[in-house]
Chains A and B, each alone.
Chain A
Amino acid sequence: MNPEFIKSRRVRVGISILIAAAALFIITGQVRRIRNSKEQVLTLGVFSDSYWGVQSGYANKIIDDAISRFEAEHPGVKVQYESGIMKTDYSEWLSEQMMKDTEPDVFFVPEGDFSTFAQINALKNLNDLVKEDDSFNPDAFYRTAYEYGKYGGRQYAIPFECAPNMMFVNKSILDSEKIDLPARDWTWDDFYTICRKVTRDTDGTGIIDQFGTVNYSWIDAFDANGVELFDEKGKSCDFTVREIGDAIAFLEKLSALGSGNSLSERNFAQGNVVFQPMNFSEYRAYKSQEMSFKKYSGFEWDCVTMPAGPSGDNYSRLDTLSIAMSENTTQEEMAWEFMKLLTTDPQIQSEIFEYSAGISVLPEVTQSEETRRRITQSTGSEFNLDILESAMEKSVTRTRFRGFDNAQEEVGLAVRSILESNSNIQMEQIIWNRTINNYLKNMQQRE
């Protein structure tokens, strides 16, 4: 370069501003845009095993079907995904891709990690896409499943598959004890009555060998009694409310019945326990003819709605697998089309009942005659879709925020210690209220 040229002030300022602009360009991640702008490739993030922990052997069948349909409808477009990533490694794999700036355009978001990814701005805000697309109707989804994809008022994810928490019932014990299957609107009182009735020594050894319930956690009790633990941003928690006091009192009553703590899922599997809350996906998996011999084979069993607390209703917690778009995607339009195909197409959604253990997020599909036939066929018994429907209707999802897991653990600690101590519940609630709120405050400050 001409040395006189560089001596000019204007040239120096110009060069300087140009380089600064280039640096800004790089920092804001525009390089990826240039790199990908001409490609007609849509990348997906999927895991190769079942989300519900029940291996069906049809790992990516639904995705593959969707891809071949999508590629046929959009000539020239290629949809790719990396196979072989297990569910346990999936979130870490996704995080690494994000840090390498190679994350897929569209990816599945497991329930536990949704809020994490939403917080770090890894997910695209879909509000505008939803609003502008007339062919997309949010009301077509189960409300709770759809609401689950919201974070801070923004829609970050669209549900793909879900399953509510339900109460599994050992019908054999109920039959032998001459107790009817609980009604759909049964309450804690009904729940307690049955538990008290069945908790006894059946073989006369002097040791109680038949129990009412296992794994009915404080979270289940809080949900059932309509407790809203934290405010939306996780800044405070009202632990002193009556609903919580009632729930803890109920848990205390339950645990007083049997030898409580020593029980585990094994006891239910062996047929010694009447009730255990479980995800509906388990019902579907182990009711199916191929899998039924693996678990719960020694007795008759079924599932009912969760019992209602005095201030709540028969609420079921919903576990949702959703799909989100990368904040940095360069293929927004294609990505949205593909997300819509996966979540709103009746044919793709109905495949969930064939190749996965969850249920479709579209009531239209889940309640269809076709679905009833499919479930009945695979489980070999007449399935009452109405129970599932009412569970879905009363499904709830929790307010999530940054550090939710730790905050929940803190509440768990409080509940356990109140249950273990014999002092007045209300007083303990006030004491723990302070502790929990201090914890939340500290968590806020650390951010």
Chain B
Amino acid sequence: MLEKTAAVKRDLEKVGEIPEFMFRILILLNLVIVLFVTLISSHALWGYVNEGTALDFLLSAGRIPPQNWVFPVTGMMLFGCLILMLTVECNNHPELVSKLIVEFIITIGISYVTSFGYTGIVVLLLADIMRYTIDWKKRALYIIAVSTFYLLMNGNVLQDWLGVIPLSVSWEYYRADHYVRFLSILGMLTLINMFVFIFYMVLLVLAQTSEKESILKLNLELKEANTKLEEYASDAVRMAETRERNRLAREIHDTLGHSLTGIISGIEACIVLMDIAPDATKEQLRAIAEVARTGIIDVRRSVKALHPDALETMDLENALLKMIDTTKRSTGVEITYFFDADLNHFNQDEEDVVYRVVQESITNAMRHGQATKIRIEITRVDGDLHILIFDNGKGCENIEPGFGLHHMQERVEMLGGDLQYKGDKGFIVLARIPIRWGTET
């Protein structure tokens, strides 16, 4: 599946390369044209000064042109700007519009140094716009904007306003036949530029169409994969159910089955023994009762194991309260508590750790310390959650980290916190957990 996607993607890039190549040719061609026009104008201006016809030129030009080196040099500078701008990729329409405006200004500059004798540079902007996959309505708007700009550049308004000396005046320096030759070269280059642009557009449209097809194909494959995944998921649920049923069967067999088997055989023995040796029977019945008692304990344990955790059905605070309440009622131990933090907006893993720490500590206090009073405090200190549990039990001089404590420590450390305990006077456990309070309101 992944390999297939990569292959399609490679294919896509390959199709996109040809228009990109044409785009570079377009840039190069425009560079050549701008250089051609500005160098000839520059030479003409140089010629007027050196042949003593400057006054005549100024008279027909009606304004003083910049020095002769200015046009080629600034032309190349501005062209560099344009290339840089063309490489800037935009992510949204406002960006694209601002980029286009900057490019318009640079284009006016380049056209200015070519005395508006060459305005074909606009097709570069259009070619760049077309590279973006924009929906056709907006694309049409961009095309209209660029075309209007192109018309404006070819009208006389901008030329008059900027005070441009037309090529027909500056190139008058050359003999008529040379002048005509230069003009025809310029016309030819402009035509070639248009052809390359059209060719580029055709390739681009082709590439974009095939890109769309590939995307459609990819979409179809994705859908298929999704259906399969859904099937897998329902299979997995069924398998889990079977596993659970097997487990239940095994559990019933192991506990209830075992005890009942013992009870049945014991009772059968009693039936035989009852008349011969009533005392032995009594003894036997006692044993059976013991087996039954063990059985019921096993059943309870199993049921408890199968029963979902309090935490799974309710939020942390209620789960803790329920646990405390149950423990108090079933053992008679006095448990007091104090929560000053909102406990209900933690992540699942954090809730889990808090619950287990409290549960394990209570169990430890009762089992090992025979405590009659337990105090639980959960507070927030800076960014940390502090869980403090202490009791009035006998404590423990030499603490051997048993399974329970070790397990707690591991869990707390997994969240980046730490666990401290002390057993010289009752038993004190302090867990500090850095909570990701982000979701707290």
Is residue B286 within 8 Å, beta carbon to beta carbon, of the partner chain? no
Asked whether, in the complex, the Cβ of B45 is within 8 Å of the Cβ of A27, the reply is no
Is residue B52 within 8 Å, beta carbon to beta carbon, of the partner chain? yes
Asked whether, in the complex, the Cβ of B67 is within 8 Å of the Cβ of A19, the reply is no
Using a CB-CB cutoff of 8 Å, which residues 26-78 of chain B contact chain A? 45, 48-49, 52-55, 57-59, 61-68, 70, 73-74, 77-78
Q: Chain A's nearest CB lies how many Å from the CB of B25?
A: 22
B371-401 contact mask (Cβ, 8 Å, vs A): 1 or 0: 0000000000000000000000000000000
Stretch from B82-90, B178-186, B422-430 forming part of the interface with A: B82-90
Asked whether, in the complex, the Cβ of B54 is within 8 Å of the Cβ of A96, the reply is yes
**B residues within 8 A CB of A101?**
66-67
Interface size of B in residues (CB-CB distance below 8 Å)? 38
Q: Chain A's nearest CB lies how many Å from the CB of B8?
A: 27
Asked whether, in the complex, the Cβ of A95 is within 8 Å of the Cβ of B63, the reply is no
Asked whether, in the complex, the Cβ of B57 is within 8 Å of the Cβ of A120, the reply is no
| The one of A12, A24, A29, A94 that contacts B87, using a Cβ cutoff of 8 Å | A12
Interface size of A in residues (CB-CB distance below 8 Å)? 31
**A residues within 8 A CB of B70?**
26-27
Asked whether, in the complex, the Cβ of B52 is within 8 Å of the Cβ of A119, the reply is no
Q: Chain B's nearest CB lies how many Å from the CB of A405?
A: 10
Is residue B118 within 8 Å, beta carbon to beta carbon, of the partner chain? no
B86-112 contact mask (Cβ, 8 Å, vs A): 1 or 0: 011100000000010010011001001
Given contacts A23-B78, A26-B70, A100-B49, contact A95 B58 (CB under 8 A): yes
Q: Chain A's nearest CB lies how many Å from the CB of B198?
A: 28
Task: Name the CB-closest residue of B to A11.
Answer: B84
Is residue B81 within 8 Å, beta carbon to beta carbon, of the partner chain? yes
Is residue B80 within 8 Å, beta carbon to beta carbon, of the partner chain? yes
Cα–Cα, bound, A303→B62 (Å): 40
Cα–Cα, bound, A119→B113 (Å): 22
Asked whether, in the complex, the Cβ of A99 is within 8 Å of the Cβ of B84, the reply is no
Asked whether, in the complex, the Cβ of B84 is within 8 Å of the Cβ of A15, the reply is yes
Cα–Cα, bound, A151→B57 (Å): 21
Q: Chain A's nearest CB lies how many Å from the CB of B296?
A: 73
Asked whether, in the complex, the Cβ of A121 is within 8 Å of the Cβ of B81, the reply is no
Asked whether, in the complex, the Cβ of B55 is within 8 Å of the Cβ of A92, the reply is yes
Asked whether, in the complex, the Cβ of A20 is within 8 Å of the Cβ of B105, the reply is yes
**B residues within 8 A CB of A27?**
66, 70, 74, 109, 112-113
Cα–Cα, bound, A16→B61 (Å): 32
Is residue A294 within 8 Å, beta carbon to beta carbon, of the partner chain? no
Q: Chain A's nearest CB lies how many Å from the CB of B131?
A: 15
Given contacts A12-B84, A22-B77, A23-B109, contact A17 B63 (CB under 8 A): no
Using a CB-CB cutoff of 8 Å, which residues 111-138 of chain B contact chain A? 112-113
**B residues within 8 A CB of A12?**
84-85, 87-88
Cα–Cα, bound, A19→B83 (Å): 12
Is residue A43 within 8 Å, beta carbon to beta carbon, of the partner chain? no
Asked whether, in the complex, the Cβ of A16 is within 8 Å of the Cβ of B81, the reply is yes
Given contacts A16-B81, A23-B78, A27-B113, contact A119 B45 (CB under 8 A): no
Cα–Cα, bound, A402→B65 (Å): 18
Using a CB-CB cutoff of 8 Å, which residues 17-51 of chain A contact chain B? 17, 19-20, 22-24, 26-27, 29
Asked whether, in the complex, the Cβ of A91 is within 8 Å of the Cβ of B78, the reply is no
Contact residues of A: prevailing secondary structure: helix
Asked whether, in the complex, the Cβ of A99 is within 8 Å of the Cβ of B65, the reply is yes
**A residues within 8 A CB of B53?**
92
| The one of B59, B61, B74, B85 that contacts A23, using a Cβ cutoff of 8 Å | B74
Task: Name the CB-closest residue of A to B89.
Answer: A9
Cα–Cα, bound, A113→B56 (Å): 11
| The one of B54, B62, B82 that contacts A99, using a Cβ cutoff of 8 Å | B54
Cα–Cα, bound, A402→B58 (Å): 12
Cα–Cα, bound, A22→B80 (Å): 12
Q: Chain A's nearest CB lies how many Å from the CB of B78?
A: 5
Asked whether, in the complex, the Cβ of B57 is within 8 Å of the Cβ of A95, the reply is yes
Cα–Cα, bound, A294→B34 (Å): 61
Asked whether, in the complex, the Cβ of A19 is within 8 Å of the Cβ of B77, the reply is yes
Is residue A13 within 8 Å, beta carbon to beta carbon, of the partner chain? yes
Asked whether, in the complex, the Cβ of A13 is within 8 Å of the Cβ of B58, the reply is no
**A residues within 8 A CB of B74?**
23, 26-27
Using a CB-CB cutoff of 8 Å, which residues 401-415 of chain B contact chain A? none
Is residue A122 within 8 Å, beta carbon to beta carbon, of the partner chain? yes
**B residues within 8 A CB of A267?**
none
**A residues within 8 A CB of B64?**
98-99, 120-122
Asked whether, in the complex, the Cβ of A99 is within 8 Å of the Cβ of B58, the reply is yes
Is residue A116 within 8 Å, beta carbon to beta carbon, of the partner chain? yes
Is residue A447 within 8 Å, beta carbon to beta carbon, of the partner chain? yes
Given contacts A13-B102, A119-B62, contact A19 B55 (CB under 8 A): no
Asked whether, in the complex, the Cβ of A9 is within 8 Å of the Cβ of B109, the reply is no
**A residues within 8 A CB of B88?**
9, 12-13
Q: Chain A's nearest CB lies how many Å from the CB of B55?
A: 4
Task: Name the CB-closest residue of A to B71.
Answer: A27
Given contacts A23-B74, A26-B73, A27-B113, contact A16 B84 (CB under 8 A): yes
Asked whether, in the complex, the Cβ of A13 is within 8 Å of the Cβ of B63, the reply is no
Asked whether, in the complex, the Cβ of B102 is within 8 Å of the Cβ of A17, the reply is yes
Q: Chain A's nearest CB lies how many Å from the CB of B171?
A: 15
Q: Chain A's nearest CB lies how many Å from the CB of B137?
A: 26
Asked whether, in the complex, the Cβ of B63 is within 8 Å of the Cβ of A120, the reply is yes
Cα–Cα, bound, A20→B58 (Å): 28
**A residues within 8 A CB of B62?**
119-120, 402, 447
Given contacts A13-B88, A26-B73, A92-B54, contact A19 B66 (CB under 8 A): no
Cα–Cα, bound, A94→B319 (Å): 100
**A residues within 8 A CB of B87?**
12
Asked whether, in the complex, the Cβ of A96 is within 8 Å of the Cβ of B102, the reply is no
Using a CB-CB cutoff of 8 Å, which residues 90-148 of chain A contact chain B? 91-92, 94-96, 98-101, 113, 116, 119-122
Q: Chain B's nearest CB lies how many Å from the CB of A10?
A: 9
Asked whether, in the complex, the Cβ of B109 is within 8 Å of the Cβ of A116, the reply is no
Task: Name the CB-closest residue of A to B78.
Answer: A23
Task: Name the CB-closest residue of B to A446.
Answer: B60
Cα–Cα, bound, A130→B81 (Å): 43
| The one of B45, B55, B78, B113 that contacts A20, using a Cβ cutoff of 8 Å | B78
Asked whether, in the complex, the Cβ of A96 is within 8 Å of the Cβ of B52, the reply is yes
Task: Name the CB-closest residue of B to A101.
Answer: B67
Cα–Cα, bound, A94→B59 (Å): 13
Q: Chain B's nearest CB lies how many Å from the CB of A31?
A: 9
Q: Chain A's nearest CB lies how many Å from the CB of B283?
A: 89
Cα–Cα, bound, A96→B51 (Å): 10
Cα–Cα, bound, A12→B82 (Å): 11
Asked whether, in the complex, the Cβ of B109 is within 8 Å of the Cβ of A99, the reply is no
Task: Name the CB-closest residue of B to A116.
Answer: B59
Q: Chain A's nearest CB lies how many Å from the CB of B426?
A: 62
Asked whether, in the complex, the Cβ of A121 is within 8 Å of the Cβ of B77, the reply is no
A62-101 contact mask (Cβ, 8 Å, vs B): 1 or 0: 0000000000000000000000000000011011101111
| The one of B48, B73, B85 that contacts A13, using a Cβ cutoff of 8 Å | B85
Cα–Cα, bound, A106→B296 (Å): 121
Q: Chain B's nearest CB lies how many Å from the CB of A111?
A: 15
Cα–Cα, bound, A15→B85 (Å): 9
Task: Name the CB-closest residue of B to A29.
Answer: B66
A410-426 contact mask (Cβ, 8 Å, vs B): 1 or 0: 00000000000000000
Asked whether, in the complex, the Cβ of A16 is within 8 Å of the Cβ of B102, the reply is yes
Closest 7 CB pairs of A and B: A95-B54, A95-B55, A16-B84, A23-B74, A96-B54, A16-B81, A23-B77
A-B contact sample (12 more), CB < 8 A, given A20-B109, A26-B73, A99-B48? A12-B88, A16-B80, A17-B102, A27-B109, A27-B113, A29-B66, A92-B55, A96-B52, A98-B58, A99-B65, A99-B68, A121-B64
Q: Chain B residues in contact with chain A, CB under 8 A?
A: 45, 48-49, 52-55, 57-59, 61-68, 70, 73-74, 77-78, 80-82, 84-85, 87-89, 99, 102, 105-106, 109, 112-113
Report 10 cross-chain contacts, Cβ distance below 8 Å, ordered by A residue: A12-B87, A19-B84, A23-B81, A95-B55, A96-B52, A99-B49, A99-B65, A101-B66, A116-B58, A120-B62
